[in-house]
Chain A
């Protein structure tokens, strides 16, 4: 059980702005939550606060009743949280194989590293020894980013717009991976605008202007989104 209590995030750039305004959420273990909403509504900010990348101005985050609000990113990672960035990070001089090994916490066999690349539709022979630099395309970087998160084998996995820049075939495959992870009873928090992902959610949360605008099952929320009511 994962609980977010009254999370606010303020920035001061000239005028003060509440990027997140008192967000509260309860996420049951093993469920698949999709957060959606317009650009700039605060989705990534919320996800980064959960992972500890940003610190909230107010509020609390509880994991199985333990307050993790002041824990570092590393501590959260060790508690079983994993995070896939919306904008994949480039790491000069670090190879895909190295990244997977870091994610696994040990030097992995080529075979094991390959497993994660295949899940995101990358041919291991071609990519394992590639450096994670700007010679890789956006879609390649994004898939490597996702592979590194899959390699964490985490209890709670957060994906910030996994569909961005990924071709249809790989995306299809990725949806299957998400279903499999859910079947393994992991908790998934996915930020997405993609119909196919919204459909497999247990619960959809719609953010607007830093607030939860609506909240419910796909059956309840999807018609409103497609009907233009959100």
Chain B
């Protein structure tokens, strides 16, 4: 199995730029090209080894609808779904500090797929899951990936889920990604979601829902950047069902050119709980951002807060950086990078 340059690029973009994979050595810089990392891993991992060594822990690499490399570990079992396309991933109770990588690459123009991945996370475990999808489309047909991820997080378990989306290629075909994320949090469990889409995706509808039991905790950090004629919709529905459950949702986005974004966050407080959502958007050029916050408290003990701010790049920030010697353009990109950090 040979990975093309573009496919390698996708994997590097979607899984390499976070701390976990850097720690685990998934990323090898360009300099290391000359000396491939020797791994005893599967074919796919070896193929990608001059830029990627096999990630530590369990993984599944998917390219154009097929699994091209997989590894389960003693505690993490990755199985192919029988009736649908996708994976069932079982994490044993008490698994600590392990990682799962499940990146997806699409390089065939006109490929449309829906993939269902279910995670069963055992009680008291603590794991990091790195997903992400990249589309390289140089043809003129749309390529579409709908990724449906469901997380069943056991009692007192903690997960961190990192998802990056990325598109490139000059063809006229669209690069379309529609992720759905469902999180079910049992008593005392915790999920941190880091969702990022900052390059090249033409159209996206992201749906994130969560159900929280007693004392469960959800944190979401979303980063969106749209440009050209791209459109992005991000819809959240968070149900705080359990006593003392908490949710904190922070979305930062930048809309440039003629792009359009919609952000809709609904937090439902069904019990004594705390929910906070924050949507902070910068509009540039002729872009448009639409933010629809909704708080739905079903008891007086539900404390729900929403903050939304939409505005242009602050001129005082640009001026400040210009007084330090940056040009206007440099100042703008510095502010954007900081904001999306």
Contact = CB atoms under 8 A, between A and B. Distances in A.
A61 B176 CA distance: 54
Contact of B317 (A74, A77, A91): A91
Given A73-B319, A89-B316, A94 B338 contact: yes
A151 to B, nearest CB: 8
A152 B324 contact: yes
Most chain A CB neighbours (cut-off 10 Å) among B314, B316, B325, B327: B325
Most chain A CB neighbours (cut-off 10 Å) among B316, B324, B335: B324
B229 interface: no
A101 B286 CA distance: 33
Interface residues of A: mostly helix, strand, loop or mixed? mixed
A98 B339 CA distance: 13
A86 to B, nearest CB: 11
Contact of B328 (A51, A74, A90, A94): A74
A83 interface: yes
B326 A74 contact: yes
A93 B335 CA distance: 8
A1 interface: no
Given A74-B328, A89-B316, A82 B323 contact: yes
Interface string B306-336: 0000000010110111111111100000110
Given A92-B339, A93-B340, A103 B319 contact: no
Given A53-B319, A73-B319, A91 B324 contact: no
Interface residues of B, number: 20
A77 B339 contact: no
A184 B320 CA distance: 25
Given A85-B320, A89-B317, A74 B325 contact: yes
A103 B320 CA distance: 10
Contacts of A105: 325
A44 to B, nearest CB: 13
Contacts of A99: 324
Contacts of A87: 316
B35 interface: no
Interface in A44-101: 51, 53, 72-74, 77-78, 81-83, 85, 87, 89-94, 98-99
A74 B321 CA distance: 9
Nearest to B319: A53
Contacts, number: 59
Contacts of B323: 51, 53, 73, 77, 81-83
B321 A102 contact: yes
B82 interface: no
A91 B335 contact: yes
Contacts of B321: 91, 102
Nearest to A48: B319
B318 to A, nearest CB: 9
B316 A77 contact: no
Contacts of A103: 324-325
B316 A74 contact: no
Contacts of A74: 322, 325-328
Contacts of A152: 324-325
A148 interface: yes
Contacts of A73: 319, 322-323
B334 A94 contact: yes
A93 B341 contact: yes
B334 A102 contact: yes
Nearest to B325: A77
A144 to B, nearest CB: 11
A81 B324 CA distance: 9
B335 to A, nearest CB: 7
A152 B322 CA distance: 12
Nearest to A83: B323
Most chain A CB neighbours (cut-off 10 Å) among B323, B324, B327, B340: B323
A89 B320 contact: yes
Contacts of B325: 74, 77-78, 102-103, 105, 152
A78 B327 CA distance: 10
A173 to B, nearest CB: 23
Contacts of B317: 89-91
B326 A102 contact: yes
Query: Which 8 pairs from chain A and chain B are nearest by CB?
Result: A93-B338, A93-B341, A73-B322, A89-B320, A94-B338, A77-B325, A83-B323, A103-B324
19 contacts: A51-B323, A53-B319, A53-B323, A72-B322, A73-B319, A73-B323, A74-B325, A77-B324, A82-B323, A85-B320, A91-B317, A91-B335, A92-B338, A92-B339, A92-B341, A93-B340, A98-B338, A99-B324, A152-B324
Given A77-B323, A81-B323, A93-B337, 4 more contacts: A72-B328, A90-B317, A93-B338, A102-B326
Interface of B: 314, 316-317, 319-328, 334-335, 337-341
